Amino acid sequence: MIAEILKAYNEAVFETDKEAAFEVVEAALAAGLRAEEVVFKVVIPAVEEMMSSITKDPDANLAQHFMTAQIAAEVTERMLQRFAHPPAILGRVVIGTAAGDLHSLGKRIVMGCLKALMVEVVDLGVNVPAERFVEAALEHDAQVIAVSAMMVHTATSEQGARAVRRILDERGLSNRIKLVVGGAPYRFDNELYKIVGGDGWAADGITAGRIIIHLIRDVKSEQNGQNEQNKQHEEREHDPA
């Protein structure tokens, strides 16, 4: 049954038919699937398939991928209300477009995918000052800051990702908060993310989801290791023998 539901859902999403996708989901629930199964066995596999397809074809229809991400986010949000137990959130990301940049499509695609993949997203909007990115990341205990820029001058500006990196370094936050960048300029120059201080980059809004999740896990792993070291240090102090 799952295979048939997934096929029907993918067909609806491929046609960017939101209502048809919702009908498939409701029919699945009526047939006995739990909300958790809808998310983890239908929605997330569909998002992963979308990620795979755009990796193979970077010039795939952007509008179609945008709608896929939006449908996934909306279905997930509806299903979360029906979960028997609150799902475990993988982590948090603060996202926005760089200072001076008003483009939001890429950012919105990333948000849709991340929400479906159980990542909590704090959207700061467009034209976001560097200081605001860092303040929001600290306020929400986010593992990743994602800065989108669709123009070369906003990608390379001293007020954009470069400034975010400078603030993270100055405050000693580089291990606690990672910086991801994305947008058209990074597709034309694959090394640009290093120049502006990014820990990673994505050629499009879809694959950004995979990069961000990887960095979230890296931060958590490092934090767990540090916590274990601190615990061992405290134990040695209390029991020097």
DSSP the chain: -HHHHHHHHHHHHHTT-HHHHHHHHHHHHHTT--HHHHIIIIIHHHHHHHHHHHHH-TTS-HHHHHHHHHHHHHHHHHHHTT-SSPPPP-EEEEEEEBTT----HHHHHHHHHHHHTTEEEEE--SSB-HHHHHHHHHHTT-SEEEEE--SHHHHS-TTTHHHHHHHHHHTT-TTTSEEEEESHHHHH-TTHHHHTT-SEEESSTTTHHHHHHHHHHHHHHHHHHHHHHHHHHHHHHH---
The chain-wide mean pLDDT, for the chain, equals 86
- Lowest-confidence range among 2-6, 114-118, 204-208? 204-208
Q: Provide the whole-model pTM.
A: 0.78
Residue 237 within a domain: no
Confidence of residue 106 (pLDDT cuts 50, 70, 90): confident
Q: What is the pLDDT of residue 192?
A: 95
Confidence of residue 88 (pLDDT cuts 50, 70, 90): confident
The reply to whether 203 and 155 lie within a common domain is yes
What CATH number does residue 210 fall under? Answer: 3.40.50.280
Last-in-domain residue among 85, 101, 133: 85
The reply to whether 116 and 223 lie within a common domain is yes
**Domains: count for the chain:** 2
Contact call for residues 196 and 155 (beta carbons, < 8 A)? yes
CA atoms within 13 A on the CB side of 59: 0
Q: What is the pLDDT of residue 99?
A: 94
- Total count of residues recorded for the chain: 241
Q: Which of 33-37, 82-86, 142-146 has the largest mean confidence? A: 142-146
The reply to whether 55 and 97 lie within a common domain is no
Task: List the domain range (segments joined by +) for residue 4.
Answer: 1-85
- What average pLDDT does this structure show over 3-30? 89
Q: What is the pLDDT of residue 228?
A: 63
Residue 133 within a domain: yes
